[in-house]
Structure 1
Amino acid sequence: MLRMRHSPPEQNGCGETHRVFNQPAPLENYNVYQADRILQFWVKRFDGDWGDARLSKFGERVGHDLLAAGFLANKHRPELSSHDRFGRRIDEIAYHPAYHQLMAHAIESGHCSLPWTEPQPGAHVVRAGLAYLHTHADPGSGCPLTMTFACVPALRQQSDMAKRWLPKILAPQYAPENRPWYNKPGVTIGMAMTEKQGGSDVRANTTNATPLGKPGPGQRYSLSGHKWFCSAPMSDAFLMLAKAGEQLSCFLVPRWCEDGSKNPIHIQRLKNKLGNCSNASAEIELRGAQGWLLGEEGRGIATIIQMVALTRYDCMLGSSALMAQAAKEAIWHTAGRDAFGKNLHQQPLMRNVLADLALEAEAALAVSMRVAHALDQSDGSEQASLVRCATAIGKYWLCKRAVQHTYEAMECIGGVGYVEENVASRLYREAPVNAIWEGSGNIQCLDLLRIIEREPASMEAMERELIAARGEYLGYDQYLDDVIQNLRDSQDLHSHARQRMEQLALAWQAATLIKYGEPLIAQAFVDSRLAPAQYHQFGTLNCRNIDLPAIIKRAMPHL
């Protein structure tokens, strides 16, 4: 077993009462991509190996100055100035320079643009690798990066607006200044859907949109109302839902009007959140704000869902990255610690926990990269149908697993993991946002029910994906038979939707590992997750059948 050297003991001097020993060196100042053999495996497995140099360059920055920038951006939270000193309304949010450093690096590296500007096999996979690595530095700034990336399909529904906006959205330039979008080399995009009275039920929205001239696609409207959550309120424009008459429609609402005046989007306050601290989320008032209609009136949900589908996918990817980093931190830390007469890696119970964390993290990354691979092939109806179903399943399951997983990793590290100077506490506080944002667990279950009842092609694509993994492991084959039978049973389907979702998620993770992954990991996953008497806490693997040291070694940062 690889064992990390302890940090050197301090020299005793005048006034010294103790020396620090049996503490590991921090996991920093390294190339995060080159050290992550699991990420490299899945990037290569799904046609992204042409992006190795780009990912390596990105990972070098993430493991050095951007890791430090992430700590600073989370320590110094965004601050709102609603007015300047002369009383003028400015609605400006100040960020620590480290936040801008993180954003600039990601945008300049193609985080928001790569699949759109360089479409080729593996483009979504390489972009997923960039997003995964960026999360290691700072998950919070991933929110505006995700929305900027995800807005492209929705904007393309309105060709005249796309022609004006997409060159700046896809530009590899970050311009954080609060000035009109058309005077900037690059822009970012946010989103505001949720209202107080509706929450996830966006059909209960009351924001109104009135045409300022001729109504219809691409035309200008005046929006009045309130948004309970506006994600990334410093963005240059937002996709919003509002009612034109009684019909929900989708609008692009910029921060500045065409005449250079400030659009009346008034920030009431910033949310004081549990996590996601480097990123601002706000309550806003729209007081006659100008917005441009995307698509037809009454097609708002159908338009914005194209953005939401990709942001939900990034919730999967973000949760996978949180689990991967948590597992690596736990493995790295315990490699440099002795306890009860042995290195912690040699303690059988700790070894079981670490291998279980590593197994969960790889299974999460595997299905996230499988969706990226399907997105690269989504011109075909089969892969597009698979993405539709897979995103709901992955968003539900991975985002929920990340909360327990990051906690367990923090427990492995111990008390030092609970303090803010250690990244483990940030990972734990960050994990719930991916489960809640863009539709919580029940919303994903309702989405799955909608797919089952109204979109049979999507469920059929998922079933074919699962069936393709048959024949390797008896445990998987028997589990899959039960999954398919349960899906055919429509009795009490709504009240049992979470059970069906969990069964599908586990089957899909197993199928992906069997078909595309390493046998070592596939066998361990099938034996531990699909067995009839499975346990629900991490650290309950069957040590007789599973090579725990090999799984830990695979996940250990390779420095």
Structure 2
Amino acid sequence: MPSTHAVTNQVPDLVDTDLAADPPLLEAVAREGAGWSLDALHDTGRRAGSAQVREWADAAHRNEPRLRAFDRVGHRVDEVDYDPGYHALLGEAVSRGFAGAVWAGADGLGSPPRPGQHVARAAGFLVWSQAEAGHGCPVSMSHAVVPALRASPELLAQYGPGLVSTVYQPGLADPASKPGLLAGMGMTEKQGGSDVRTNTTSAVANADGSYTLTGHKWFTSAPMCDVFLVLAQTAQGVTCFLVPRILPDGSRNPFAIQRLKDKLGNRSNASSEPEFDGTIGFRVGDEGRGVRTIIEMVACTRLDNALGSAAGMRDAVRRATWHATHRRAFGSALIDKPLMRGVLADLTVESEAAVTLAVRLAGAQDRAPHDPHEAAFRRIGVTLGKYWICKRQTAVVGEALECLGGNGFVEESGMPRLFRESPLNSIWEGSGNVNALDLLRVLSRESAAVEAYRAEVEAASGADHRLDAAWKSILDELRDPAEERARWLAERMAVVLQGSLLVRHAPTAVADAFVGSRVAGEHGAAFGTLPRGVDVDGILARAPLG
């Protein structure tokens, strides 16, 4: 081989590794009551980090979903074809219980619930999402739809067993005959986006108790799911409906897919614009109470947004640390350069704070049914976590990509896909402004949630004077929260909450760096600007392992 083709100083592939070998995650899972699940979590981590799963993920993005609107002779079929890798990823996720399985016992559809099961599911979802994020959309929606169906026990009894199943069977078929079901959602429309009360899709009651829907949805992801929760207008206002792709009599429900979205990222997952024309739906909850009916679903998907963004951050930090460990420059490994170590430490602190908060929220999800304090904390904590963790993902991934230099800018590195994915969770289920406004509603209407937040933050009272001072500034702001300050308040409350958790649970190196930089403001506008004197070695010991 000519000497010009000799390959030296290139980083080996990061494959066949345990993505669950992550100290902050493992500690949080045990702390939140799911230590019993660690063996299964490591099994998920090894599978997610395998070369086989990486090949599936690459293929699912290389061969994007394609709309097949008609069959050979012109009948409408409105189906979407995916690469086999997508089905393989989705099948693994469902079989590991990351879709609706966690609700089985709680809803009388299986064995009794186990303490910590939502934490176990959340940790598994966080680890598995690092393999490939796109297929997580139907997984998350299928997880979230079950509690919404509690508003209509007959629909829960009919579709619940399939939704909590750990069997994935692709393709459209009579739901009663399928061993497992997936659920999607169709809320937004062209004219409204997050303002779902302006939806124009209409629903007219039929004599048999069903409704006929007419309208056009703007963003309906995973159109090959078996059932969808959609919003439509009745005479009483916005109402929630369950729309199956295949009706109980075996016929196809009108679900005319106009096109698939050409998206920035999340390209392995199809997002569509379906038209409803004579489409049959079954009411979920009361007429005119559609938004309230789906609020439990929104809480679940927003938590998954936070988990997904925490996953993206950990994946980015792992890739950056792996590269720095194996790449040499100016006489030594990059990981030994003080400037690079400072950047990696900063990224590690940010991502550990995200993981710690996300798993704490999963713990609240577990305890909420029998603990009013935890239910109240979940209400405000999920809003804050969704807002801030999702916002931080793009910044973290962008800086991690830069750690790889030009090698991070090419597709083979995986970083471009991770970067394109990074803004999604901040948009899905309400963008930053929507969540900031939701925080204001909580502050004005739900005093128990505010007190639950106070108790969580004050659990660290006296441990760090900088954290105490920041909490005092929030109390001053809470006396008269204004809309124009809602983003500042959401960010500050989220950061102080993360600081409280880290002061109580993380090593001193991480907690001190986080409070000094994020809470006390001893930090620049870019990563790699931690305060003087932080324990970089102690922080990097917390980085996810390659």
Corresponding position: 1:97 with 2:84: yes
1:330 to 305, 308, 320: 320
1:150 maps to 2:137: no
Counterpart mapping for 1:17-56 below 5 A: 17-33=4-20, 35-56=21-42
1:106-505 matches, cutoff 5 A: 106-117=93-104, 119-213=113-207, 219-379=209-369, 380-490=371-481, 493-505=482-494
The question of whether the paired residues in 2 share the 8 Å contact of 1:120 and 1:376 is answered with no
Structure 2: distance between partners of 1:231 and 1:339: 44
Separation of aligned partners in 2, 1:533 and 1:413: 26
Aligned partner of 1:55: which letter?
L
Matched residue, 2:535 = 547
- Structural RMSD (CA): 1.2
Please give the alpha-carbon distance, in whole angstroms, between the structure 2 residues aligned to 1:29 and 1:346: 25
In structure 2, how many angstroms separate the alpha carbons of the residues matched to 1:538 and 1:249? Answer: 45
Please give the per-residue CA displacement for 1:173-219, whole angstroms capped at 9, x wherever unaligned.
Answer: 001112222221101000000000011100000000001116xxxx3
SS of corresponding position for 2:68: strand
Kindly state the Cα deviation for residue 128 of structure 1 after the two structures are TM-superposed. Answer: 0.7
Q: Secondary structure at the match of 1:459?
A: helix
1:20 & 1:476 partners in 2: Cα distance? 50
The one-character-per-residue Cα deviations of 1:413-467 (angstroms, maximum 9, x if unpaired) are 1111111111211111001110111100000011001111111211111111111
Question: Are the equivalent residues in 2 in contact too, given 1:114–1:124 (CA < 8 A)?
Answer: no
Residue deviations 1:477-532 (CA, integer Å, cap 9, x gap): 11111111111234xx1111111111101101001112233332212111111124
CA distance in 2, matches of 1:246, 1:439: 24
Distance in 2, matches of 1:58 and 1:557, equals 15
Query: Structure 2: which amino acid aligns with 1:226?
Result: H
Measure how far apart 1:256 and its partner are.
1.1
Whole-Å separation in 1 of the counterparts to 2:148 and 2:254: 24
1:38-62 Cα distance to aligned partner (Å, 9 max, x none): 2212111211110012112212211
Task: Summarize the alignment of residues 516-535 of structure 1 with structure 2, pairs less than 5 Å apart.
Answer: 516-535=505-524
The CA distance in 1 between the partners of 2:381 and 2:257, in whole Å, is 36
Partner of 1:10: none
Q: Deviations over 1:210-252 (max 9, x none)?
A: 01116xxxx3100000100001111001000001115100000
| Bigger Cα displacement from structure 2, 80-89 vs 476-485 | 476-485
TM-score between the two structures when normalised by the length of structure 2: 0.96
Shift of 1:540: 0.3
Q: Which amino acid aligns with 1:83?
A: F
Aligned partners of 2:265 and 2:398: how far apart in 1? 14
Could you say which residue in structure 1 is the equivalent of 2:110? none
Measure, in 1, the Cα distance between the counterparts of 2:438 and 2:150: 24
Which residue identity does 1:509 align to in structure 2?
Q
1:68 aligns with 2:55: yes
Superposition deviation, residue 474 in structure 1: 1.0
Question: In structure 1, what residue type is equivalent to 2:535?
Answer: D
Paired with 2:478 and 2:410, the residues of 1 have a C-alpha distance of: 44
Are the aligned partners of 2:227 and 2:245 in contact in 1 as well (CA < 8 Å)?
yes
The C-alpha deviation readout for 1:62-83, integer Å capped at 9, x for no partner, is 1112122111111111011000
Query: Mind listing any 5+ residue stretches in structure 1 that lack a counterpart?
Result: 1-12
**Is this contact kept in 1: 2:137–2:269, CA < 8 A?**
yes
Distance, in Å, in 2 between the alignment partners of 1:484 and 1:232 is 43
The CA distance in 2 between the partners of 1:168 and 1:446, in whole Å, is 36
Structure 1, 266-275 or 454-463: larger mean CA deviation: 454-463
State the alpha-carbon separation in 1 of the partners of residues 173 and 84 from structure 2.
18
Q: Provide runs of 4+ in structure 1 moved above 6 Å.
A: none
Quick check: 1:69–1:137 contact (8 Å CA) kept in 2? no
The residue identity in structure 1 corresponding to 2:46 is E
One-letter amino acid of the structure 2 residue matched with residue 165 of structure 1: Y
Corresponding letter in the other structure for 2:88? Q
In structure 2, what is the equivalent of residue 9 of structure 1?
none
Which secondary structure state, in structure 2, belongs to the residue aligned with residue 228 of structure 1?
A: coil
- How far apart, CA to CA, are the structure 2 residues paired with 1:554 and 1:390? 24
Q: Is the 8 A contact 2:516 2:522 kept in 1?
A: no
Distance in 1, Cα, partners of 2:3 & 2:143: 53
Equivalent residue, structure 2, for 1:515? 504
Deviation at 1:537, TM superposition (A): 1.1
Shift of the alpha carbon at 1:314? 0.4
Task: Report if aligned partners of 1:208, 1:245 keep a CA contact under 8 Å in 2.
Answer: no
Between the two proteins, the alignment pairs up a number of residues equal to: 537
Alpha carbons of 1:258 and 1:532: their partners in 2 closer, same or farther (altered >3 Å)?
closer
C-alpha distance in structure 1 between counterparts of 2:496 and 2:253, whole Å: 49
- Point out the more displaced range, 413-422 or 368-377: 413-422
Structure 2 SS opposite 1:269: strand
Task: Give the residue type in structure 2 aligned to 1:197.
Answer: Q
Alpha-carbon distance in 2 for matches of 1:533, 1:54: 40
Quote the offset at 1:408 in angstroms: 0.4
CA contact (8 A) 1:276 1:429 kept: yes
SS at match of 2:280: strand
User: Percent identity between the aligned chains?
Assistant: 44
1:401 is paired with a residue of what secondary structure? helix
Partner of 2:109: none
* 1:59 counterpart = 2:45: yes
Question: In the aligned structure 1, how far is the partner of 2:273 from the partner of 2:503?
Answer: 46
* SS of 2:192 mapped into structure 1: coil
Q: 1:117 to 1:518 in 2, by over 3 A?
A: farther
The aligned amino acid for 1:25 is P
Q: Secondary structure at the match of 1:225?
A: strand
> Counterparts of 1:157 and 1:235 in 2: how far apart (Å)?
21
Normalised to the residue count of structure 1, the TM-score between the two structures is 0.94
- Code of the residue aligned with 2:276 in structure 1: it is L
Secondary structure at 1:495 match in 2: helix
The residue type paired with residue 389 of structure 1 is I
CA contact (8 A) 2:18 2:45 kept: yes
Is the 8 Å Cα contact of residues 352 and 543 (structure 1) preserved in structure 2? Answer: no
